[in-house]
Amino acid sequence: MTAAATYGGSNCTFIERLLAIRVEYIRLGYTTIPNFIFFDKLLNGLTKGWASFVKDRMDQAARDDARPLEDDFLGICKDILLRLPLNDITKDVTGYTKDKDATRDAKNKDNKNIKKRCSACKIEGHDESNC
């Protein structure tokens, strides 16, 4: 099983993708796959802040003699998804935000719409190599 980390995306989409993989395995009849495999993917794919949140929850469950989080994979995913902001963007990993990407795309679109003028015949939109 492979699941990419949050590079280029967000924690929310990563968790949704991981849950979709888990549901697909169940649908195909692979119900004996242990949850700790998905739990490890979750810990390795989240940003450092959310991974430490999960580890803190694991420590708290161990201190309280509660059910281990590894057994409640869907519960921890649900808990993280409920705590994530609606516009969850991973700036730490990619360095880009949606607004920055949208601005860059708009600039590129504007540059494509500008018609160039041929330096040989001075006709707008004419390609100099065909002149």
Q: pTM of the predicted model, to two decimals?
A: 0.50
> Domain locations in the chain?
11-95, 97-131
Phi, psi of 8 (to 5 degrees): 80, 0
Contacts of 14 (CB under 8 A, 6+ apart): 3, 4, 5, 6, 45, 46
pLDDT in tens, 87-109: 655 454 444 445 555 566 666 66
**pLDDT, position 89:** 52
Give the Cα separation of 8 and 41 in Å (integer). 17
pLDDT in tens, 42-99: 888 888 888 888 888 888 888 888 877 777 778 888 888 888 776 655 454 444 445 5
pLDDT in tens, 1-45: 444 444 456 778 888 888 888 888 888 988 888 888 888 888 888
**pLDDT, position 2:** 44
Q: How is the chain split among helix, strand and coil, in percent rounded to 5?
A: 60, 0, 35
Task: Report CA-CA distances (Å) from 75 to 104, 112, 118.
Answer: 39, 48, 64
